[in-house]
Structure 1
Amino acid sequence: MAHNKGSNRNGSGKPVPNNKTAYNRTTQGKKNAGKGTVGKSAGGKGTGRGTAKSGLIFVISLILIGALVITLAIVFLKDSGSSSLKDLPNYTEIKGDYTAEGLKYEKQPHLGEPSAKVKVIEFADFKCPACKKWEETYMPQLQKDFIDTGKIELFFTNFAFIDRDSIMAASAGEAVAAQSNEKFWEFKSKLYAHQGDETKIWATPEFLLDFVKKNINGIDYDRFASDLKSHAYMLPVKEDFKTAGYYGVNGTPQFMVNGELLPSSSYEELAAAIEAQLAEVGGQ
């Protein structure tokens, strides 16, 4: 027993420090020292937590601001689109009776001799860049080779499918044709020359009114303006579209020769089809 008691005292009789307790104190002190230096502010609160909290608030603020900007952009674009489409009806909004069956030559603008035994129909959209190119590149040749020579009679049928202003441009053409068949062909050629970007809404009522006033003389402009604004010729445009679809038209420009739809818009193919029909019907 004496040996055990003596083992806890030094020579002066004072207790020897307990190593286990000292080690624990030192370790705890080191831990606290680390926390005091890094994890505590002068006031005893955690600066790390404060910094993290501030960063989180900043990130959330950025997200909210970004969401607000995106929302405003969507609203702006929606309003802009709605504004550009104002007064431009789609086909479901055009009401009235019509029939899609039957090639209605008598209703279409025509060019050439009515006595010609070969009837050619051009299906086109005034917004179509390929139609514009065909008009400028091949129409003069078709006129020279087959129309002026009395071999064919050419008819124009709307296939307004690109956008809602395609329908508006087509109705403007119908309004001009209702006054003058000859002036329609002038309208057709000049409108292609003034064609806008296919991806944008450009054939608006305002554009068409201004275009006709400046470029098409010899018609009653006030009547044209009234017909355009009242959508007087929207139903014939819809009938054209449905009729073309009924006979298999699926793009523009496309041509039909004596009731046979050609698979492409190649001038060589069109000329060959015309010549074949002329030979069959005994034309010149």
Structure 2
Amino acid sequence: MSKGKNSKKKTKRQSPKIIFWIVGLLAICMGGLLFLSNTTSKVEAIDYNKQPFLGEELAPVQIVEFGDYKCPICKNFNESFLPQIQKDFINTGKARFYFMNYSFINVDSIRSAKFGEAVYKELGNETFWEFHELLFNKQPNDLKYERMDIFTEEFLEDALKEIVSEEEAQKVVKTFHNKESESAWDNDMKEASKLEITGTPTLFVNGKKFEGNSYEDFKEMVENAAKGE
């Protein structure tokens, strides 16, 4: 491999403290997907009432993701795996897919989750999912975790205006300011606590926690759930 003229430049050294923080965060996030596949899951009672979802209401399988908009593993899941889930199960009428908040990383996590709930409350299910996808798309790939305020209120409002009118955006902002979306967020967090969730993304299929190690494991779990197994 040839060396460029800048090859002798010294790379900027990361603070050991920052590196430790980043590695720790990634480990916690990945805890939501990496489980021992031979563990038997019990069926949990999950309250899906008034939750945003993709798919048909009468679909036999209910899939729920507990996620955090600041989590880089959730970004990867929503950009790489959710489209496949949509193709295999949501679009075929086999499953509904829900999103519930587990906001644990920092103030950005909580602010963006509550703002998303305000979008759902004021503008409905379809717009919520557009905003949901947009937030993950806008999460920086080189996210610097020492910058605590990435998803500021101004950032969230500007992002929303990319997909809705000024009037619609102001309705959401008003709801957010009046804290009318906090109860929905609080319900998600209580549900996550009840289910003893410790990382994101965490998935459940018909009330059973996904504890496999691959998409093929997940696909098999959903197929079995569709058969009533």
TM-score, length basis structure 2: 0.73
The partner residue of 1:152 within 80, 87, 95 is 95
User: 2:152 matched to which residue of 1?
Assistant: 204
User: 1:251 matched to which residue of 2?
Assistant: 199
Q: Which moved more, 1:146-155 or 1:208-217?
A: 208-217
Q: Point out where structure 2 has 5 or more consecutive residues left out of the alignment.
A: 1-43
Distance change in 2, residues 1:249/1:216 (3 Å):
farther
Please list the CA deviations of residues 181-236 of structure 1 after superposition, one character each: whole Å capped at 9, or x if unmatched.
01111111111010142613211111111111124459722211111222221222
User: 1:193 matched to which residue of 2?
Assistant: 137
SS of match in other structure, 1:107: coil
Distance change in 2, residues 1:227/1:102 (3 Å):
farther
Q: Distance in 1 between matches of 2:183 and 2:106?
A: 16
Q: Distance in 2 between matches of 1:255 and 1:191?
A: 20
State the aligned residue count. 181
User: 2:170 matched to which residue of 1?
Assistant: 222
User: 2:4 matched to which residue of 1?
Assistant: none
Question: Quick one: which amino acid aligns to residue 169 of structure 1?
Answer: S
Question: Quick one: which amino acid aligns to residue 211 of structure 1?
Answer: A
Distance change in 2, residues 1:217/1:118 (3 Å):
farther
Distance change in 2, residues 1:239/1:108 (3 Å):
same
Cα RMSD, aligned residues only: 2.0
User: 2:115 matched to which residue of 1?
Assistant: 172
Please list the CA deviations of residues 100-141 of structure 1 after superposition, one character each: whole Å capped at 9, or x if unmatched.
x95221221011011111111111101110011111111111
User: 2:126 matched to which residue of 1?
Assistant: 182
1:162 to partner: Cα distance:
0.7
Q: Distance in 1 between matches of 2:104 and 2:62?
A: 24
User: 1:62 matched to which residue of 2?
Assistant: none
Please list the CA deviations of residues 67-92 of structure 1 after superposition, one character each: whole Å capped at 9, or x if unmatched.
xxxxxxxxxxxxxxxxxxxxxxxxxx
Superposition map of 1:50-65 within 5 A: none
1:158 to partner: Cα distance:
0.6
Q: Which moved more, 1:241-250 or 1:156-165?
A: 241-250
Q: Point out where structure 1 has 5 or more consecutive residues left out of the alignment.
A: 1-100
Distance change in 2, residues 1:248/1:269 (3 Å):
farther
- Percentage identity across paired residues of the two chains: 38
Question: Quick one: which amino acid aligns to residue 187 of structure 2?
Answer: E
Distance change in 2, residues 1:117/1:219 (3 Å):
farther
Name whichever structure is richer in helix by fraction.
1
User: 1:125 matched to which residue of 2?
Assistant: 68
Q: Distance in 2 between matches of 1:261 and 1:169?
A: 25
Q: Which has the higher contact order (CA 8 A, sep 6+)?
A: 2
Assess if the C-alpha contact under 8 Å between 2:45 and 2:207 holds in 1.
no
Distance change in 2, residues 1:172/1:264 (3 Å):
farther
Is 1:134 aligned to residue 77 of structure 2?
A: yes
SS of match in other structure, 1:180: helix
Larger radius of gyration: 1
Which segments of structure 1 move beyond 3 Å, counting only runs of 4 or more?
215-219
1:266 to partner: Cα distance:
3.8
Distance change in 2, residues 1:218/1:263 (3 Å):
farther
Question: Quick one: which amino acid aligns to residue 154 of structure 1?
Answer: F
Superposition map of 1:1-40 within 5 A: none
Assess if the C-alpha contact under 8 Å between 1:255 and 1:265 holds in 2.
no
Question: Quick one: which amino acid aligns to residue 269 of structure 1?
Answer: D
SS of match in other structure, 1:121: strand
Distance change in 2, residues 1:238/1:266 (3 Å):
farther
1:280 to partner: Cα distance:
2.2
TM-score, length basis structure 1: 0.60
User: 2:13 matched to which residue of 1?
Assistant: none
